[in-house]
Amino acid sequence: MIFDFHCHYSPEFFRYRDYRMDLDALIAEMDRHYVARAVLGPAGEYAACATGEGNAFVRDAARRFPSRFVAFAPTDPWGRTRVEYDEDPVGSEG
């Protein structure tokens, strides 16, 4: 069984560039390469600057596919974004 420990996802990589990511396509690529599960973190600017939004994308992906993704939530130590904790961030199945 293959586990990918470093996988990124955000619906868009950067807000101002025409590059989109599709969650269903990511699952299809994982299936194609026999990856059973992945640790998923935000991509692009959502990993470094807009971590609140990026973490929400990842949380939603992990909730949608709890058997496939483990959510990883980075924080920006220099940012002023308030960190919020969810009692059950990815659901009891995740």
Q: What confidence tens digit (pLDDT) does each residue in 31-71 have? A: 999 999 999 999 887 787 778 888 899 999 999 999 999 99
Asked whether the beta carbons of 44 and 9 are under 8 A apart, the reply is no
Q: Where are the alpha helices (DSSP H) in 2-69?
A: 23-32, 45-48, 51-64
pLDDT of residue 24: 93
Domain ranges of the chain: 2-71
Whether 2 shows a pLDDT value over 90: the answer reads yes
Question: Beta-strand (E) ranges in 1-94?
Answer: 2-8, 35-41, 69-71
pTM as predicted = 0.76
Per-residue pLDDT of 11-35, as tens digits, reads 876 666 666 788 999 999 999 999 9
Q: What is the mean pLDDT of the chain?
A: 81
